Amino acid sequence: MSALDSRIGASTPALPEDGIQALHAAHLKRKKRQRLQVFSVQMAILLLFFAFWEIAGRLKWIDVLLFSYPSKVFAQIGKDIASGELWGHLGITVGETVVGFLLGTLLGTLIAVLIWWSPFLSKVLDPYMVVFNSMPKVALGPIFIVMFGAGFLSITVTTLSITVIVTTLVVYNSFCEVDANLIKVVRVFGGTRTQVFSKVILPASFPTIISTLKVNVGMAWVGVIVGEFLVAKMGLGYLIIYGFQVFNFTLVLSSLVIIAVVATGMYQLVVYVERKLLTHRR
């Protein structure tokens, strides 16, 4: 091919179309192989961990009373499922968590709306928010118990105390960071403050609100488990503290495994909902 040909974009391309396709196919194959490798190593780590734990337990390398071992733990879970005892505890804990993170996100967002609406209120509340945000909220647990009784309500309130303020701060911040020019678009049509909020501020902050939901799932678990440590007669946190008190660490560990599974499932569910709701966003 002459130099002139290549300059004017000659008719025969340097690489035929099927050659380009082949490159793409090779790329996809490489990607797939890598994914498979990562997954195999992940599974191997998990299996090795459980295998080592099992062997260490059975050969008495570790104190079985304290650390138990996987077959005992899973047998415990199987027994709890079979007897139906697990569902009551699981249901209560999941219920408290769901209420905690949904209500926490909702309340936090509502407070954010309120202080967005009134800059004066926002200035007044600022130092209180800072103090309350800096506080370890679980320290308020005993206060909540005497106020709301030893049960579902005080556990939920403990959870809310953890989720609400963070949500308020994050969501309010995202309200304030909405591009002033987007607001101007509404204002030039004579839009009211209510319209500015409903047409711009809220939809623009929607991704932030959804992502606080994700953070709050984790926070709510902390609140609920701590709450259950303090007062509960039911729930996974109760099982942990009960197992600890009667020195049944198989029960403690089986509760931990269940919490890990359920908390992950809940988190993934929120991630899924987030993806569904935000398909058209950047």
Partner 1 sequence: MEPVVELKHITHVYVSDREASLALDGLDLRVYPGEFVSLVGPSGCGKTTLLSIIAGLMKPTKGEVLVYGRKVDGPTAEVGYMLQQDYLFPWRTIFENASIGLELTGRLNQEHLARTTALLEEMGLAEARDLYPQQLSGGMRQRVALVRTLTTDPGLLLLDEPFSALDYQTKLQLEDLIAGTLREKNKTAILVTHDLSEAAAVSDRVIVLGSRPGKIRKSFEVPDHIRSARPLLAREQTGFNELFHDIWREMESAADKE
Whether the Cβ atoms of residue 170 and residue 212 lie closer than 8 Å to each other: yes
Residue 276 in the binding site for partner 1 (CB under 8 A): no
Residue 194 in the binding site for partner 1 (CB under 8 A): no
Q: Can you tell me the distance from the alpha carbon of 98 to that of 152, in angstroms, rounded to the nearest whole number?
A: 12
> Alpha carbon 83 to chain centroid distance?
30
Residue 153 in the binding site for partner 1 (CB under 8 A): no
Residue 11 in the binding site for partner 1 (CB under 8 A): no
Look at residues 231, 233, 242 and name the one whose alpha carbon lies nearest to residue 142: 231
67-96 footprint of partner 1 as x/- string (CB under 8 A): ------------------------------
Closest CB 13 distance from partner 1, rounded Å: 27
Residue 190 in the binding site for partner 1 (CB under 8 A): yes
Look at residues 224, 227, 249 and name the one whose alpha carbon lies nearest to residue 94: 224
> In degrees to the nearest 10, what's the CA dihedral of 199, 201, 206, 212?
-160
| Per-residue tokens: 212 | 């606080």
Stretch that binds partner 1, among 15-23, 99-107, 203-211, 238-246 (CB under 8 A): 203-211
Q: Can you tell me the distance from the alpha carbon of 101 to that of 107, in angstroms, rounded to the nearest whole number?
A: 10
Binds partner 1 by CB under 8 A, chosen from 113, 122, 187, 270 = 187
Interaction residues for partner 1, span 166-185 (CB under 8 A): 179, 181-182, 184-185
Residues forming contacts to partner 1 in the complex (CB under 8 A) are 179, 181-182, 184-191, 195, 199-200, 203-204, 206, 280-282
